[in-house]
Structures are given as structure tokens and as C-alpha cells.
Amino acid sequence: MPLNIPPDLPAVELLKQENIFVMDALRAARQDIRPLKVALLNLMPLKINTETDFVRLLSNSPLQVEVDFVKMKDHRSKNTPPEHLAAFYKTFEDISKDYYDGMIITGAPVELLAFHEVTYWAELRNIFDWAAKHVTSTLYICWAAQAGLFHFHGIPKYPLEKKMFGVFKHTVNGAGTALTRGFDDAFYVPHSRHTEIRKDDLLKKPALTLISESEEAGVHIVSARHGREIFITGHSEYAPEALHNEYRRDLNKGLPIEIPSNYYIENNPEKGITVQWRAHAHLLFKNWLNYYVYQATPFDPGEIGRLGDLKE
């Protein structure tokens, strides 16, 4: 997909090396089409890495996408230069009167805190409620999936005895949905988290549809309002080295951490990484953009707030 993002965003040069077409604003303006508008609320500490991960996946479609990067207003990022945030990011106040075709809300390293203990919880809840009326379809990733399920449906999260860390096999429930169209019978997804949501809690909520799960990693994809909210507990967007970098980081900090499951060749960090999730990650985001964003968005963006439930 031609991506309309700022030309001096650090991700641009890396993405061009990967043969991803990044469109400059002048060329985008010459195309007589309305680009899909996608907001990316980035709660991760390494924001530049996360930008690159998601932009890479948003590139896999023939339509034009315009991405707005969004940050929490009162949270200070310790791992991203303030100059980068000032140059490329908006706050919720900046976008609160706008409508978006799609939105992605990332995970955050706060999962061991109770939701109300997260310093930006009140602002985040406002964004959740705003997205339900201003966005055609929103993806909630990892901790954001847990937070969204708790906020909208009262689903609790539970601490794990040890970190869910590695690449795990998943299956699609039943016939699946348009989101998983083209998926194989088994597919792999990275996970990196200390908490979980449980299937038994989800099954008590008729408004929720469990689309995908794993025998090892548990609940994976949950849908609400026929795809206007999609909750994903894994990290399909992760670059190949992401789990390796997390593993080395925790080792260097002296934290209890095991080698990520099903990740290294012969389970040996010295032998390199086996990437098993990349193709399905691209397919997941391509299906989301096509079936839940592009084909579902009304011609007039202002009509998004009056949409009924999407059809699977």
C-alpha cells in the first residue's frame, strides 16, 4: 500500500530498503482518491521501533493510507526523544473532532498494574469511548486488548506464573471471519506478556466472538460489534529481532526470563531466529484494512459515528 507518512520519519529509509512504497505528500495529493485515515496510538516505550513495525504491515494493500501518530498528553516517554514526539505526534485533543477509518492502539509495559493504577487510565478510557463513535474499526493490541475488554465488557486480566514469551501455534475457531480469510489451519504468533484473559470469561459475554486461540498461549483474537472493535493478545507486528532484544534486555537486567519458545533455531540463541509469523501478520492486517476498514467506511467520514454494526 502506498503510505503517506512524513518523509523525514526515521522509519522511511528502513522501509524503502524493504521495498515498501512510501508516498510523499505531493504525489499523494495528485491521486484522485480519498486515502484511508488510520490513527496509531503508540503506548510502547520504543516508539520508533513500534512505528516501523506497524507501518510495515499497513503497506500490504493497493490503496493509499494516511497515518497519524498519537501519544498520551500527560505521559512523558523516557525512551523516545522529545524532538521526535514534537515533530511527528499528535495528542488526543488534536484529533478528538476528527473521524478515522481505522485505529490501532498498541500494547504498553504496564500490565502488572491494576488498570486504575495506570497514570493515563482516565485519558485512555476517553479515547476508547471516542473511538467507538469516531472510528470504523479499531485494533487493540496486547495490553490494550486487555484494557479494552475490561473497559467495554468487564473482562478481568490474571497474572501468569511466568511470562508468556515466544512464538506459539494458533488455530481459527469454526469457519472464522473475514479477518482470518486465507489463514492456514495452524499459524504462529509471537507473545510477550505477564498477564492473560481467560476463555471462560469471554464465553459469558454474548457480545464477544472468540475468533482465534492457542493451546499454549490461550485467547488470541476477540471481536465485538462485528469487528468495530478487534482485540488481539499477541504481537503479529513484531519484527524478527523483537523477542531476541527483549530476551537480552531482561538477561542484562537480571530478571527471571526463559529462552523464548519456538523462536531460535534448535532453541539456541547462537544459531539465529526462525521467523514463522510474518506471512500471516501481513494477511491479518491486509484483511483488516480491506474488509473492516475500506469496505465498511462510508464515503462521508462524518457518517462513521452513525454506522451500525459491521457485517462479517
Its domain, for residue 97, covers 3-160+171-239+281-306
Q: Does 290 reside within a domain? A: yes
* Residue 191, domain member (yes or no): yes
> Would 82 be classed as within a structural domain?
yes
Give the up-direction half-sphere exposure of residue 118: CA atoms within 13 A in the CB hemisphere.
21
If DSSP codes are grouped into helix, strand and coil, which group holds residue 83? helix
Question: What pLDDT, on a 0 to 100 scale, did the predictor assign at position 62?
Answer: 72
With respect to residue 80, please indicate whether it lies within any of the assigned structural domains.
Answer: yes
- Average pLDDT for runs of 10 along the chain of length 312: 64 58 51 80 95 90 87 82 92 96 96 96 97 96 98 98 97 89 96 97 97 98 96 97 96 94 96 96 95 76 60 52
DSSP, collapsed to helix, strand or coil, labels residue 301 as: helix
Alpha-carbon distances, residue 14 vs 56, 128, 242, 266 (angstroms) = 10, 31, 16, 29
pLDDT at 209: 96
pTM of the model: 0.88
In a domain, 189, yes or no: yes
Strand 229-232 versus strand 218-224 pairing type = antiparallel
Which residues share a beta bridge with 169?
A: 188
Nearest residue to 6 via CA among 68, 98, 94, 77:
68
Q: What is the pLDDT of residue 16?
A: 56
Tell me, what CATH number does 21's domain have? 3.40.50.880
| Residue 263 domain-assigned (yes or no) | no
In a domain, 39, yes or no: yes
Which pLDDT belongs to residue 13? 64
Which sequence positions are flagged as catalytic? Answer: 142, 235, 237
According to the 3-state scheme, what is the secondary structure of 125-149?
HHHHHHHHHHEEEEEEECHHHHHHH
- Distance, in Å, from the CA atom of 71 to the CA atom of 82, rounded to the nearest integer, reads 12
Inside any domain, residue 251: no
* Domain count for the chain: 1
d(CA 144, CA 157): 11
Phi then psi for residue 48, to 5 deg, are -65, -40
Beta strands per DSSP E along the chain: 3-4, 22-23, 36-41, 65-71, 89-91, 100-105, 135-141, 158-172, 187-196, 208-214, 218-224, 229-232
What was the pLDDT predicted at 170? 98
Q: Note the pLDDT of residue 35.
A: 85
